[in-house]
Amino acid sequence: MSPEKFVQVEKVGMSFDTKKGKFVALTDIHLNIRQGEFVSLIGHSGCGKSTLLNLIAGLTLPTSGVMLCAGREIPGPGPERAVVFQNHSLLPWLSCFENVHLGVERVFSKTESKQQLKERTTRVLEMVGLGHAMHKYPGEISGGMKQRVGIARALAMEPKVLLMDEPFGALDALTRARLQDELMKICDATQATVVMVTHDVDEAVLLSDRIVMMTNGPAATIGEILSIDLPRPRNRIALAHDPRYMDCRSAVIEFLYAKQSHPIAA
Amino acid sequence: MTAITVDALEKVGAGGTAAPVTPIRKVGLSVPPPPAPSQLAGPSSMEQDAAVMRAFLAAVLPPLIGMALLIGIWHLATVNGGSIPTPGKTWDAAAILFADPFYSNGPNDQGIGWNILASLERVGIGFGIAALVGIPVGFILGRFATMASMINPIISLLRPVSPLAWLPIGLLVFQRADPAAIWTIFICSIWPMIMNTAQGVMRVPQDYLNVARVLNLSEWKILTKILLPSVLPYMLTGIRLSIGTAWLVIVAAEMLTGGVGIGFWVWDEWNNLKVEHIIIAIFVIGIVGLILEQALVFLAKRLHTES
């Protein structure tokens, strides 16, 4: 296994059986993701970006092709490929602490004492800035806080790959910006490998090392891949006037709105 | 699952199954409880007291007026004689009856307290066994589609059968009146629990199951941390419907089986032509049913707020 090909997606296709016959969602996807890389998947609605993420997560299995993570075929979902769900998906009957602890217990209970497990959970919640609210229930905290718990739950399992499905899509712009900044810090500190689905161009450019742009479905595939060579740590205010940032941004917008204009508009 | 369940669910009653449509969301987005009167920004305690008093009256007065109307109409309809006793006469009879509810002059002449307790015991046993069987069966039907399509036609066939049709079977098998009555309770109160539990299991949000898969939770953890909590509101609805049915059925079953019990007591008083007692029994049956129902509603609310 080479660190250059930490996640390998080889010739992957995905089709679903529907009442109207076979629906081809993805076709001929090739993608290699480096260890420690931040990759965004962007494209119009229905282009199969979430499908691709679910494939990497193992929640669904491809109908053709091979998916490898750390040199091994992806057999199904597992804690080494943790998912941050779009709608946080916290269990409302468990406190924030218990929600995170559920995963921690599963991954580390064989090697660590109960005390260590608790410390681990607390540490992650403090890292996402929720040390004060960890014994609250999801119904008692704001949307942004819930999403942070979702991120903490995923990070706490120390996954090989962190998969995020529009993690900030449901948040207001200010909260989103703050969480993006925090995510950048966390990724910097943990050197996490991240695959994120988004439809926010600025978010993609700000956070990613590479942006994978997908063509419109059905039978969607990768249209272009854009490397973002902006130095890290990145600062959103400084970047706002950076010509390189502007170029990246225009390249993505060009792809989305000129080359792959929305299916309804076409 | 198939249309059978949906159809059956509708028959169970809109009031029953419609209640917990999105029970989990409700918990998730739970609004903080309304502030206690003492926390309301009130300039003086006098005004606060007045506000509390008004709220109290608004809650208590309309039901009282309704009750008064009922008794008034009853009185007007019976005051000029006839076979139905007046409210006053019924009240006097009730006062005598409840002065000594726990006397026992042999198996056919016992206080009303004993009769109520005997009925509650039968309901408790029959309903308890129904819960022990029905809830796990509901889980299995909700979890495994094949089982559901196997069992659902049988349920659809048996569920509409009148309780009393089951009684002869019980008498035949058990040879005694008491287990036959319990059997009837069991068979009639099991369906809502099966149906509602199965519905609840099928409606566990896919998101939660995906979380379970990503976290690679054990079957035990999935059951205790995900399935049970999210099915609980549905289960409680099933239990509430079941206990309502059980209490409906017991009166009819006891009328036929005899012995001690509120249903038999009604029949016995009919044979004695003590119509006041029959009316008292109607009220008692209603009140006990109401208490059972409210106790379960209270329990459901407690579980909601705790989760």
Q: Please write the tens of the pLDDT for every residue from B294-307.
A: 998 888 888 766 55
Looking at residue B304, its pLDDT comes to: 67
> Mean of the pLDDT values across residues B104-116?
80
B64 assigned to some structural domain: no
Looking at residue B65, its pLDDT comes to: 93
Looking at residue B305, its pLDDT comes to: 60
Pick the CATH number of A3-80+159-259 from 3.10.105.10, 3.40.50.300, 3.30.1340.10, 1.20.140.160: 3.40.50.300
B213 assigned to some structural domain: yes
Backbone angles phi, psi at B218, to 5 degrees: -70, 160
Looking at residue B10, its pLDDT comes to: 42
Record: contact B29-A139, CB cut-off 8 A: yes
**pLDDT confidence tier of residue A262, bands split at 50, 70 and 90:** low
- Closest by Cβ to B215, choosing from A59, A102, A138: A102
Domain of B202: which CATH number? Answer: 1.10.3720.10
State how many domains chain B has: 1
- Tens digits of residue pLDDT in B57-66: 888 999 999 9
The CA distance from A26 to A16, in Å, is: 10
Record: contact B229-A91, CB cut-off 8 A: yes
Gyration radius of chain B's alpha carbons: 24
The CA distance from B41 to B223, in Å, is: 46
Q: Quick check: A35 and A68 in contact, CB under 8 A?
A: no
B142 assigned to some structural domain: yes
Q: pLDDT at residue B6 above 80? A: no
Q: Quick check: A223 and A47 in contact, CB under 8 A?
A: no
Q: Quick check: B243 and B127 in contact, CB under 8 A?
A: yes
Task: Please give the residue of chain A at the shortest CA–CA distance from B207.
Answer: A89
Q: Give the domain extent around B125.
A: 103-306
> Mean of the pLDDT values across residues B169-189?
90
Record: contact A102-B208, CB cut-off 8 A: no
Task: Please give the residue of chain B at the shortest CA–CA distance from A90.
Answer: B208
**Dihedral angle, C-alpha B90, B96, B100, B102, nearest 10 °:** -30
> Mean of the pLDDT values across residues A73-102?
90
Residues 173-232 of B with CB under 8 A from A: 205, 207-208, 210-211, 213-218, 221, 225-226, 229-230
Beta strands at A72-73 and A81-84: parallel, antiparallel or unpaired: unpaired
- Among B101, B99, B104, B142, which residue's Cα sits nearest to residue B231? B142
Q: pLDDT at residue B254 above 80? A: yes
Sign of the Cα torsion B220, B225, B230, B233 reads positive
Q: pLDDT at residue B35 above 70? A: no
- Closest by Cβ to A106, choosing from B24, B208, B215: B215
DSSP state letters, chain B: --HHHHHHHHHH-HHHHHTTSSHHHHHHTPPPPPPPGGGS--S-HHHHHHHHHHHHHHHHHHHHHHHHHHHHHHHHHHTT-SSSPPHHHHHHHHHHHHHSTT-BSSTTSB-HHHHHHHHHHHHHHHHHHHHHHHHHHHHHHHH-HHHHHHHHHHHHHHTTS-HHHHHHHHHHHH-SHHHHHHHHHHHHHHHHHHHHHHHHHHTS-HHHHHHHHHTT--HHHIIIIIIHHHHHHHHHHHHHHHHHHHHHHHHHHHHHH-SSSHHHHHHHHHHTT-HHHHHHHHHHHHHHHHHHHHHHHHHHHHHHHH-
Q: pLDDT at residue B3 above 50? A: no
Residue A105: exposure state from Cβ atoms within 10 A (0-12, 13-18, ≥19): buried
> Mean of the pLDDT values across residues B281-292?
91
Q: pLDDT at residue B148 above 80? A: yes
Task: Please give the residue of chain A at the shortest CA–CA distance from B28.
Answer: A139
The CA distance from A99 to A134, in Å, is: 10
B62 assigned to some structural domain: no
- Among A261, A265, A266, A191, which residue's Cα sits nearest to residue A232? A191
Q: Kindly report whether the global pTM for this prediction surpasses the value 0.80.
A: no
B89 assigned to some structural domain: no
Q: Quick check: B237 and B20 in contact, CB under 8 A?
A: yes
- Closest by Cβ to B24, choosing from A78, A92, A140: A92
Residues of chain A contacting residue B210, judged by C-beta atoms under 8 Å apart: 59, 77, 83, 85, 89
B12 assigned to some structural domain: no
B110 assigned to some structural domain: yes
Give CB contacts under 8 A, 24+ apart, made by A136-142.
A136/A95, A136/A96, A137/A92, A137/A93, A137/A94, A137/A95, A137/A96, A137/B27, A138/A88, A138/A90, A138/A91, A138/A92, A138/A96, A138/A99, A138/B28, A139/A92, A139/B27, A139/B28, A139/B29, A139/B30, A140/B30, A141/A96, A142/A175
- Among B118, B99, B95, B96, which residue's Cα sits nearest to residue B108? B118
> Mean of the pLDDT values across residues B253-271?
86
The CA distance from B131 to B113, in Å, is: 26
